[in-house]
Amino acid sequence: HVGRHVLQLQERSAAGSARPGGIFSRIVLVLGELLITAGVIVLLFVAWQLWWTNVDSDARQRDAVREFTKNLAMPAAPVPPPAVDHGEPKVSAEPETGATIGIVYVPRFGADYTRPLVQGTTPAVLDTLGIGHYEGTAMPGAVGNVAVAGHRQTHGAVLDNIDTLVPGDRIYVQTRDGYYVYSFRNTEVVLPDRTDVLLPVPTQAAASPTERYLTMTSCNPRFGSEERIIAYSLLERWQPASAGPPAEIAGQVRRAAGEG
């Protein structure tokens, strides 16, 4: 009798599995497992985008800064005051894509904010090497528009805090020729097709430049790319490499060069 009872239970179980309700439950179970798996994959992707790409890019950018500074002479003489007139800024020719033009320091972004400025705005540059210089725009110190781009939340997040700049903030660009000090003026948010912000006089197609602009571009909002945020600055002064770094960033420059 016991054996027959067990057999009957097995038959009922098999019959229940064959019923539409049993098949539906299995489908729901499988779909649930697939959704959980998809959710885990999405979380891993987000972690990779927001964490690992920054870790990897930060390491590459530190290497680029060290490589750029290792052969630069760092004069021990006192830094001249800003009132010293060093004449017309020296301007270098555009290098090949991927070459390091210099180093960018933005105290508003942190006391140790040091990022390489690299020629080009291809993914190969922006995703690994730091701030990219739009090819064909002015070089640091030149009359016209030095236009650059960088990511906000991924790949080093080099312009993550671009929206925190306030008028009067300084942006320092160090090249082999010297230091160029730009004073931030204002930001604007535009659609991605507004390439006129890269013109020699930003947004003014018919104008001939007489001033020296620095235009920083990045995605907007922080976690999206529907718009572009544009930060405009004007050259305030410059000093040759032989004069040493501006006093305001002397410590950052020494640390970037591995001197303390």
Query: Is 228 tagged catalytic?
Result: yes
**97 to each of 91, 105, 162, 164, how far by Cα in Å?**
18, 21, 24, 30
Contact between 247 and 172 under an 8 Å Cβ cutoff? The reply is no
151, 152, 155, 212: which one is catalytic? 151
Taking the CB of residue 245, how many other CB atoms lie within 10 A of it?
23
Give which of 143, 89, 95 is closest to 117, Cα–Cα: 95
Structure-token pair, residue 142: 């030149």
Catalytic-labelled residue, pool 133, 155, 170, 228: 228
The DSSP line for 125-181 is HHTTTSEEEPTTSPPTTSSEEEEEE--SSSTT-TTTTGGG--TT-EEEEE-SSEEEE
User: Beta strand pairing status for 131-133 and 114-119?
Assistant: parallel
List 115, 170, 212, 219, catalytic entry: 219
CB 140 within 8 A of CB 90: no
β partners of residue 232: 186, 215
Q: Mind telling me the catalytic residues?
A: 151, 219, 228
